[in-house]
Amino acid sequence: MNKILFIVFLIPLIINAQTGSDELINPKELIHDLVVDLRYGTPDHKFLNLPNGDIQLPKFYTCNESLMLLQLAESLKLAQDSLRNIREYDGRIFPRGIGIKIWDAYRPRAVQYLLFEIFPNPTYVADPASGSMHNRGGAVDLTLVDLETGKELEMPTLFDDFSQKSAHTYNDLAPHVIANRKLLRDVMTNIAKLSIYSSEWWHYNLSGASSFPLRDFQMK
């Protein structure tokens, strides 16, 4: 009896030790020069460009403050600390280094239902029934910027380009574009220790994120 009780009480401690905090934080608290441009909080997102007739889509977010699991924010801090020190890459000069721009991070599950209704293709939009890593705060969509000018480095596609051009294996691209995608991938996998998603060059997952809860509250 005592032994069973002991084990029952121990389980949450073991789970917590394995997965860490499930707290969601604003990554700007850790990364002061992070650029955040939550595209689903503006009318300027790819979902509006899909052939859905005259459907007027809402802004899916009410603010431009991103949230993510603490561990993911800590991983991105390592990446940004490394990128910020780059002064030259692929023959180009970056006087203040390179930085990260976030397009999406934590995404309320209700928004996942809306996105899936518009574009029910699970290669690009996770089925809300099982949920997206974004709904757990364990995924991030991002690109790189020149910290001097704020301009995005040229990548294979824009955000949410649901075509083969978004895949990591697509290489019918200018050499500097391939180099930019490689820099992002190298930093995210080697420094931040995140996992790629083969169909989308902009999407990275925190390993083990599937053990965190699906959530459904709107950012404020």
- Contact set with Zn ion (CB under 5 A): 141, 203
Closer to Zn ion at the Cβ: 94 or 204?
204
Task: For 175, list phi and psi in degrees, rounded to 5.
Answer: -55, -40
Handedness of CA 207, 213, 218, 220 (dihedral sign): negative
Q: Which is nearer to Zn ion, 80 or 166 (CB)?
A: 166
User: Are 206 and 72 spatial neighbours (Cβ–Cβ below 8 Å)?
Assistant: yes
Rg (CA), the chain: 19
Burial track 94-114 (b if 16+ CB lie within 10 A, e otherwise): beebbbbbbbbbbbbbebbeb
3-state SS class at 61: coil
To the nearest whole angstrom, how small is the minimum distance from the Cβ of residue 104 to Zn ion? 6
User: At which residue do the structure tokens 């000069």 appear?
Assistant: 93
User: Could you tell me the two tokens for 213?
Assistant: 């809860």
Least distance to Zn ion from the beta carbon of 204, Å? 8
Q: Which is nearer to Zn ion, 147 or 181 (CB)?
A: 181
Q: In terms of CB distance, is 45 or 203 closer to Zn ion?
A: 203
What is the smallest separation between the CB atom of 7 and Zn ion, expressed in angstroms? 38
Tell me whether residue 37 or residue 141 sits nearer to Zn ion (CB atom).
141
Q: How far is the CB of 134 from Zn ion (least distance, A)?
A: 6
CB of 94 or CB of 201, closer to Zn ion: 201
Smallest gap from Cβ 46 to Zn ion, in A, equals 12
Name which of 205, 201, 178, 210 is nearest 193 in CA terms.
205
CB of 122 to Zn ion, least distance (A): 13
Q: Is the dihedral of CA 160, 161, 162, 167 positive or negative?
A: negative
Task: Look at the chain and count its residues.
Answer: 220
